[in-house]
Amino acid sequence: MKKNLRIVANMVTMILVAILVGGCPDNPAGPTPTTPTASITCNGQANACVVDLWTKPVIAWTSANVSGCAVRRNGEALSDWGTSLNSSRQLDAQMTSGMATYAVECTGPNGSAIASVAVTVRSGRPAEFRISNGLTNTPVDARVTTIATSYQTRGDGSLTIDEAPSRFNVTIDAPGYLTYETIGSSDRTEYKLWPVNSPNSEDGIKQMVYGDSSAYNNPGLRAMNRIDGPVSFYFSAELATNQAVIGRYETGVPLLAAAIKNRWPLTVIEGTSPLSGTISVMIQIDSTISTAANTSMTYINGRAISGIIRFKTLDNLSDYYIRHENAHVVGLWHHEGEGLVGRTWLPSQLDYSPAEKGNMQMMVWVLPPGTIWPYNDRGAIGAKASGFTGTVTFRD
């Protein structure tokens, strides 16, 4: 019985197959063919994308059921892009104004597939540059390099780039100045370079401003800390009645104010309370410290908030030590050169050296707190610099 049923079932199947074949005489024999497909994107977007000037979008494509693909830009084959079936590629050249169409064409035994994506560039605005010496404000001719293009200033330190994105990385080079990496924008025109002139060297700047450990007692390169407002020096109860000590401050602090060209008021208070709203710096004797004197400064994002200057003994409150420690209040580190904070200090030298003055002026007049070495301000795209928060002790 079971056997008979199976025979009947087989016969029904054969009849059905015969009907189907008879009903579709043109149907080819063999498996159904696979359909070739292709797709292409710009920065992950299909069909179209909009990008900023000078950026380099990523073009990616995928395909199936094909044996090879080629990419064309505005109809022209990009032969060096290869024949991969699936790939992605960041453009070698930055985008300039206009529109470009990228198309992928894939072919195989079952036919071809084509897909395209349109890349439109946002229009830019003119970018004006006025490049000058950060200390003297005199024009400096420089080479200005954006992502891929270099421009030379006109001979008076100025340059116009007709079409630029709203923000862009820029590197500025000129002989006799530190290379400056910063952020350019259509709203910014002033770019101030840091002069490297004898006796101020690149090493000296690294030591004095960025704490490079090639100088004595420095901790190593770090983001720049500095004062960013008025300072008041005041005294412990023990020192507040010592007119000789107060007198040395009243002659020493104006030298520091002159060194920074009076960027901020520096006030000596003959008493035990700082002026409110100032960076308060207390002066005291502390016999427990290991050196003749030290300065501890507290910063928030590289901006000085307060400080303490400690002297081991009353005798250590000399003109030299007072003026040396005062420079630490501005954020100046030790260095190997001449000057009140230099290793080669001479007892006759009671004012800051030209290099010390120049570097302190660059710090307080030109550079934002948190600027990092190499001379790369924290605004530069990708620099990711952040000002230091905490307390730093300048040893001795």
Q: What amino acid occupies position 204?
A: G
Find where tokens 């299909």 sit.
46
Token pair in block for residue 303: 């901006």
Find where tokens 């005199």 sit.
138
Instruction: Give the residue ranges of DSSP H helices in 117-274.
Output: 202-210, 243-259
Please identify, using beta-carbon distances, which residue of 193 and 253 lies nearer to Zn ion: 253
What length is written for the chain? 396
Least distance CB 395 / Zn ion (angstroms): 7
Least distance CB 362 / Zn ion (angstroms): 20
Least distance CB 324 / Zn ion (angstroms): 5
Least distance CB 328 / Zn ion (angstroms): 6
Please identify, using beta-carbon distances, which residue of 356 and 396 lies nearer to Zn ion: 396
Please identify, using beta-carbon distances, which residue of 338 and 396 lies nearer to Zn ion: 396
Strands 68-73 and 45-46: unpaired
Distance CA 301, CA 370 (A): 7
Instruction: Give the residue ranges of DSSP H helices in the chain.
Output: 2-23, 202-210, 243-259, 319-330, 354-361
Q: Considering only residues 367-396, where is the footprint of Zn ion by CB under 5 A?
A: 394, 396
3-state secondary structure of 363: helix
Contact mark string toward Zn ion, 136..165, x via CB under 5 A: ------------------------------
Distance CA 377, CA 77 (A): 42
Least distance CB 396 / Zn ion (angstroms): 5
Least distance CB 297 / Zn ion (angstroms): 12
Please identify, using beta-carbon distances, which residue of 168 and 394 lies nearer to Zn ion: 394
Token pair in block for residue 338: 């001449």
Token pair in block for residue 88: 């992605």
Please identify, using beta-carbon distances, which residue of 180 and 394 lies nearer to Zn ion: 394
Please identify, using beta-carbon distances, which residue of 40 and 308 lies nearer to Zn ion: 308
Q: For residues 60 and 89, is the Cβ–Cβ distance under 8 A?
A: yes
Token pair in block for residue 189: 């025109």
Least distance CB 209 / Zn ion (angstroms): 14
In 3D, which of 290, 396, 291, 289 has the Cα closest to residue 343?
A: 396
Please identify, using beta-carbon distances, which residue of 90 and 214 lies nearer to Zn ion: 214
**Footprint of Zn ion on this chain (CB under 5 A)?**
394, 396
